[in-house]
Amino acid sequence: MLQKILLIAAAGAAGTLLRFALSGAVQKGLGSAAFPYGTLAVNVIGCFLFGLIFTLAEEKMLISSEARIILLVGFMGAFTTFSTFGFETAAFIRDSQWGFAALNVATQNITGILAIFGGIILGRTI
């Protein structure tokens, strides 16, 4: 059990570091501080990977149940940033930036759901 906890913690650390690097790179690459493109990229990629990993574990049995927990709870739990999404949306609302708030909610949710299906579809073809 201790080994599993340590693996989940290590996967969480890796997810956190990758989220930090990817989100910052995307935000810097697009050169815009007005809209959280880095968070959007991490959330969409995270949703896609979650769908892929879940399908490969549950339907294809290519990932063990132990590895699934480590990847989905540890890595993906730290990598996805919906708490940041909520904070950024609340900040838009607080600042009366209703258009950005609506755009953030719509794009994060719609593309995230589509990415889940994309991961499932890819997982089923493997």
- Angle among Cα 103, 77, 113 to the nearest 5 degrees reads 40
CA 79 to chain centre: 5
Give the count of domains, the chain. Answer: 1
Q: What CA–CA distance (Å, rounded) separates 50 from 81?
A: 13
In a structure prediction context, what are the per-residue pLDDT tens digits for the chain, which is 126 residues long?
A: 999 999 999 999 999 999 999 999 999 999 877 899 999 999 999 999 999 999 999 999 999 999 999 999 999 999 998 888 998 999 999 999 999 999 999 999 999 999 999 999 999 999
From start to end of 16-89, where are the E strands?
A: none
Q: What CA–CA distance (Å, rounded) separates 122 from 126?
A: 7
Q: What is the pTM assigned to this prediction? A: 0.83
Structure tokens at 124: 């089923």
CA 87 to chain centre: 15
Structure tokens at 109: 């949710």
For residue 110, the enclosing domain spans: 2-125
Q: What CA–CA distance (Å, rounded) separates 126 from 16?
A: 27
Judge contact between 112 and 44, C-beta under 8 A.
Answer: yes
Residue 84 pLDDT: 84
Judge contact between 13 and 78, C-beta under 8 A.
Answer: yes
